[in-house]
Amino acid sequence: MTTSLSPTDHTPAQADPRRWAGLAVLAASLLVVVMDMTILNVALPDLTADLRPSSVAQLWIVDSYALVLAGLLIPIAALGDRWGRKRMLLAGFTVFGVASMLVLVADSPGDVIAVRALLGVGGAMIMPTTLSLIRTLFTDPRERATALGVWGAMAAVGSAVGPIVGGALLETFSWHAAFLFNVPVMVVAVLAGWLLLPESRSDRPGRLDVAGVVLSFGGMAALVYGVKELGKHGPTVTALLTLAAGAVLLTAFVRRCLGQRDPMLEVRLFAQRAFTAGVLAALTTSIAIVALLLLGSQWLQLVHGWSPLQTGAALLPMAAGGIIGSPLAPGLAARIGARAVLAGGLAVAGVGMLLLFVLPQPLSYVSVAMSLALVGAGTASLAVASAVIMGSAPADQSGSAAAIEESSYEIGGVLGVAVLGSLAAWIYRDGLPADAGYAARESLAGALGTPVGGAAVTSFEHSFAVFGLAAGLLLLAASALVWWLTPAGLDLADAHH
């Protein structure tokens, strides 16, 4: 006996003959957005050397994209349900391309911050809309699961290729190339999307009330900013007040949605255990992966002295696991059950993280590559998580489901840096000699070349291992919780059509 993803049966709609070509457009757009995030990380040193932003401005160059994107995901997803998802996606492509081109006239840190914020607007228009359109294009649940597997594989490709492309561009061009790379791709995306994607709207779009927009944007932005502040500066008054404000605003938003018949965000989807399990899997995986990429990049560049291009190539084992596993995960779920794949994937990723702690210290690259490969293979189960999340929602609520899934990735990434990254930083500082200066305590980069450089490298190695222990335990705990939440007979084929 199997458990349906939804209590309602519907007659499958006629499959769109352009669905696979349309998927190629959607997957390619996701690829570019993910690549853009990682390319900037590589370009940041050259950018700061050229424009010389203050420490506060540098933080805003990095954070403005995430704050705007997180704040706009919910209202823009609701607007796309009403205005048209294809229109919203094409508009997002246009905004992303124009914002990238504006970097040509950006000659101050404030200009770059504005460009990054506008890119956040474009990203918020693109990312949830791709999921909503996949939900619309693929009416057959098994085909949809395969399509979401391809979508997930493109995210893995983007995170891997981004640093490599960024490193190659910076060897020839200035930091502006990290932005201008998007322009021709977005032009092609607009043309291909116009020709290949069908328009779709919700039959029952959520209401767009001003109070709901203010509460959701303010709550999400405050939550993301508060967590970032907590990770960077500890429990300061600013961090705690911002977090409290975010919690109050989001609580008010949820209560407002629960009191409405057609809310802007259908939070009642969390009443389904399978939906909650899928969101939990996405959230915890994002927490662990973002922190691993951050610390792993530092370990490769600062401890081993590898270039950004070499570092990007060295991180490929994790992407390879996701690229190979994501399209295969839905088929495996059909054989052994969605619950086994969801919980099992988290467990495999958790074991991969634990390798950083249990393997002999100091770690060799071979040891880290083994860890990366296992984590990548485990995160391939996110294709099933996406299928569960999107399949749990009726077609008219796909915007809400997509906004919740994308929000879980955004919040997870911020929590990964703030919580696990801060844990590693605390362990690193605790292992330094008492006479280590401020710069050495702030980062390993500040310690290299000083009398405490050797001790700092040893301390960083230890902090990387402790991070692996913490991330591994988090993923294993999430695996157990996802196993408990997911119905035993959950079948990806039994979904809303």
160 and 226 in a single domain? The answer is no
Asked if the structure places residue 473 within a domain, the reply is yes
3 has which bridge partners?
A: 490
pLDDT at 7: 41
CATH, residue 354: 1.20.1250.20
218, 241, 259: which is the final residue of a domain?
A: 259
pLDDT at 457: 93
- Half-sphere exposure (Cβ direction) of 29: Cα atoms closer than 13 Å: 36
Asked if the structure places residue 376 within a domain, the reply is yes
Asked if the structure places residue 266 within a domain, the reply is yes
Asked if the structure places residue 366 within a domain, the reply is yes
259, 277, 301: which is the final residue of a domain?
A: 259
pLDDT at 493: 67
pLDDT at 371: 96
pLDDT at 41: 67
247 and 266 in a single domain? The answer is no
Asked if the structure places residue 463 within a domain, the reply is yes
227 and 165 in a single domain? The answer is no
pLDDT at 137: 85
336 and 311 in a single domain? The answer is yes
Asked if the structure places residue 492 within a domain, the reply is no
The radius of gyration of the chain from alpha carbons, rounded to an integer in Å, stands at 22
219 and 351 in a single domain? The answer is no
Q: Which residues of the chain have pLDDT under 70?
A: 1-16, 37-38, 41, 55, 206, 493-497
**pLDDT tens digits, residue range 213-262?**
899 889 988 888 888 788 777 788 988 999 999 999 999 999 999 988 88
The answer to whether 426 touches 303, Cβ cutoff 8 Å, is no
The answer to whether 77 touches 128, Cβ cutoff 8 Å, is yes
The range of the structural domain enclosing residue 478 comes to 19-207+260-485
215 and 176 in a single domain? The answer is no
**pLDDT tens digits, residue range 455-491?**
999 999 999 999 999 999 999 999 999 999 999 888 7
Please provide the DSSP assignment of 269-295 as one string.
GGGSHHHHHHHHHHHHHHHHHHHHHHH
Neighbours of 337 (CB within 10 A): 22
pLDDT at 398: 82
Tokens matching residue 440: 């050495």
**How many angstroms separate the CA atoms of 102 and 117, rounded?**
12
120 and 248 in a single domain? The answer is no
Asked if the structure places residue 496 within a domain, the reply is no
The answer to whether 302 touches 445, Cβ cutoff 8 Å, is yes
Q: What does the angle CA 117 – CA 153 – CA 395 come to, to the nearest 5 degrees?
A: 75
**How many angstroms separate the CA atoms of 164 and 157, rounded?**
11
**How many angstroms separate the CA atoms of 264 and 399, rounded?**
9
Q: Is the dihedral of CA 391, 396, 401, 406 positive or negative?
A: positive
pLDDT at 5: 52
Please give the tally of structural domains in the chain.
2
8-state DSSP, 362: S
**How many angstroms separate the CA atoms of 216 and 260, rounded?**
15
369 and 459 in a single domain? The answer is yes
The answer to whether 322 touches 155, Cβ cutoff 8 Å, is yes
305 — alpha (psi -120 to 50), left (phi > 0) or beta?
left
User: Using CB atoms within 10 A of its CB, is residue 52 exposed (0-12), middle (13-18) or buried (19+)?
Assistant: exposed
DSSP helix/strand/coil, 15 = coil
Calculate the CA 108 to chain-centre distance: 28
Calculate the CA 86 to chain-centre distance: 22
pLDDT at 438: 80
Please provide the DSSP assignment of 373-411 as one string.
HHHHHHHTTHHHHHHHHHHHS-GGGHHHHHHHHHHHHHH
46 and 188 in a single domain? The answer is yes
284 and 219 in a single domain? The answer is no
Q: What is the pTM of this model?
A: 0.85
330 and 391 in a single domain? The answer is yes
Tokens matching residue 417: 């840096």
The answer to whether 318 touches 355, Cβ cutoff 8 Å, is no
220, 244, 259: which is the final residue of a domain?
A: 259
Which residue from 164, 166, 276, 246 is spatially nearest to 415, judged by alpha carbons? 246
Asked if the structure places residue 271 within a domain, the reply is yes
pLDDT at 315: 86
39 and 165 in a single domain? The answer is yes
Which residue from 247, 256, 167 is spatially nearest to 208, judged by alpha carbons? 256
Q: What counts of helices (H) and strands (E) characterise the chain?
A: 20, 0
